[in-house]
């Protein structure tokens, strides 16, 4: 969750039965051995993961509180897991025509109320352009807070890269590609996790399959890893010894370049093997797919599209940072803006 040039520091304090620890494995006592090292590893891993999920990479001075076994038990193997229900809707919809007021309620600007805007924004997430064979799951927006939306409402787009939005504190700057990348990444992870509960990955069948030249290694990888590709939502078939055809992709990635996605998946499958891609290398692959699919720089967005992206950021875990650890948005408060113009001085 951190950028490549930043590193965390931490202290872990573990309380457990002394009989479960061998402290005599090293003469200088700088190492210990656990009787069940895997259980300890999983306990620590999930405790740290749960603690970090409630922190922000862009916040200052926030320290997660210590957690007990009862607190982290829901995410520890052997314990009952509770899954949050997440709906998957596109953050950007080019077919939307609704144009709400970008200003928050209760301000000096006129505009519809929060509830009215929330209902209208919910419509932006729905997508009826799914393949006839794909299961259709209506999008249900997350509960709307009674107060103002944390990221506010979009005002404009800057240089085709940043979204300018206004909230109660002042100005919000959003890196639209980085934000959309995180949203897609979390949606893909949730979609794969849902397969564990017996839900199929939603796929988009391509009306015209995308064909491309492939070498013998790529063709072999596609033929030998059909189950892995299907689990990831891809249908890639060999048409000849030098040609592959992409016949379907995950619905979440339907707007991306199918050939690029296919080459990314096949590269990881042939390098690491199907089972490792789904287990050990899953997050790295999903991050790559999300990066290639996220909205690119210099794409002009409408106000409804920008506001839709802000709403999905607010409902996405760790949406304040991209998959590479960069911040996705920053807040410029009114006081800081006033200082730039020497207001009140």
Q: Angle formed by the axes of helices 303-314 and 114-125, to 10°? A: 90
What percentage of the chain's residues is helix, strand, coil (to nearest 5)?
Answer: 35, 15, 45
Name the pTM for this structure.
0.59
Task: Please tell me the least confidently modeled range out of 18-27, 46-55, 321-330.
Answer: 46-55
Contact 232, 264 (CB under 8 A): no
Final residue in a domain of this structure, among 26, 52, 75: 75
Contact 296, 256 (CB under 8 A): no
Contact 327, 59 (CB under 8 A): no
Per-residue confidence (pLDDT) for residue 330, from 0 to 100: 94
Per-residue confidence (pLDDT) for residue 148, from 0 to 100: 64
Q: Does 211 map to a domain?
A: yes
| CA-wise closest residue to 99 among 309, 310, 312, 304 | 304
Q: Which domain does 39 fall in, by range?
A: 18-75
Contact 174, 162 (CB under 8 A): yes
Per-residue confidence (pLDDT) for residue 299, from 0 to 100: 86
Final residue in a domain of this structure, among 293, 311, 332: 293
Per-residue confidence (pLDDT) for residue 139, from 0 to 100: 41
Place of tokens 């890639």: 236
User: What value, to the nearest 5°, has the Cα angle with vertex 184 and ends 161 and 174?
Assistant: 30
- Pairing relation of β-strands 235-240 and 243-250? antiparallel
Q: Does 93 map to a domain?
A: no
- Mean pLDDT value of segment 111-124: 47
Give the separation between CA 60 and CA 326, rounded to whole angstroms.
15
For residue 245, what are its two tokens?
Answer: 């055809």
Final residue in a domain of this structure, among 26, 51, 75: 75
**Dihedral of the alpha carbons of 62, 64, 65, 66, in degrees to the nearest 10:** -150
* Ranges assigned E (strand) in 52-161: 153-158
Per-residue confidence (pLDDT) for residue 110, from 0 to 100: 37
Q: Say what percent of the chain tops pLDDT 90.
A: 31
Domain count, the chain: 2
Per-residue confidence (pLDDT) for residue 107, from 0 to 100: 44
> The domain that contains 238 carries what CATH number?
3.30.1370.100
Tell me: pLDDT of 268 over 80: yes
Residues 6 or more apart whose CB falls under 8 angstroms from that of 84 comprise none
Instruction: Look over the chain and give the mean of its residue pLDDT values, rounded to a whole number.
Output: 76
- Mean pLDDT value of segment 120-149: 46
Q: Does 62 map to a domain?
A: yes
Q: Does 277 map to a domain?
A: yes
Q: Tell me which of 97 and 321 has the higher pLDDT.
A: 321
Per-residue confidence (pLDDT) for residue 134, from 0 to 100: 43
Q: Tell me which of 279 and 41 has the higher pLDDT.
A: 41
* Ranges assigned E (strand) in the chain: 21-22, 33-34, 153-158, 162-167, 170-175, 203-213, 235-240, 243-250, 329-333
């Amino acid at each position: 969750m951190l950028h490549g040039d930043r590193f965390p520091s931490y202290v872990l304090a573990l309380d457990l039965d002394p009989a479960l620890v061998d402290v005599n494995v090293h003469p200088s006592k700088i190492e210990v051995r656990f009787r069940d090292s895997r259980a300890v590893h999983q306990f620590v891993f999930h405790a740290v993961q749960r603690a970090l999920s409630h922190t922000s990479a862009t916040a200052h001075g926030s320290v997660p509180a210590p957690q007990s076994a009862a607190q982290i038990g829901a995410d520890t193997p052997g314990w009952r897991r509770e899954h949050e229900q997440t709906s998957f809707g596109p953050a950007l919809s080019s077919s939307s025509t609704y144009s709400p007021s970008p200003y928050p309620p209760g301000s000096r600007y006129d505009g519809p109320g929060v509830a009215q805007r929330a209902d209208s924004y919910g419509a932006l997430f729905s997508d009826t352009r799914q393949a006839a064979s794909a299961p259709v799951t209506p999008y249900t927006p997350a509960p709307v807070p009674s107060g103002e939306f944390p990221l506010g409402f979009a005002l404009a787009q800057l240089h085709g890269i940043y979204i300018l939005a206004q909230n109660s504190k002042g100005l919000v700057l959003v890196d639209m590609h980085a934000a959309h990348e995180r949203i897609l990444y979390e949606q893909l992870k949730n979609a794969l996790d849902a397969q564990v509960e017996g839900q199929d990955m939603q796929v988009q069948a391509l009306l015209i399959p995308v064909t491309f030249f492939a070498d013998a290694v790529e063709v072999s990888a596609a033929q030998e890893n059909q189950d892995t590709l299907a689990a990831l939502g891809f249908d890639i078939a060999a048409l000849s010894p030098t040609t592959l055809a992409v016949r379907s992709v995950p619905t979440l990635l339907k707007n991306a370049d199918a050939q690029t996605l296919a080459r990314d998946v096949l590269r990881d499958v042939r390098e690491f093997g199907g089972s490792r891609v789904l287990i050990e290398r899953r997050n790295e692959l999903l991050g790559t797919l999300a990066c290639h699919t996220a909205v690119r720089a210099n794409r002009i967005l409408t106000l409804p599209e920008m506001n839709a992206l802000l709403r999905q950021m607010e409902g996405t875990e760790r949406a304040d940072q991209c998959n590479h650890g960069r911040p996705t948005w920053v807040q410029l408060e009114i006081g800081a803006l006033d200082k730039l113009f020497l207001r009140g001085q």
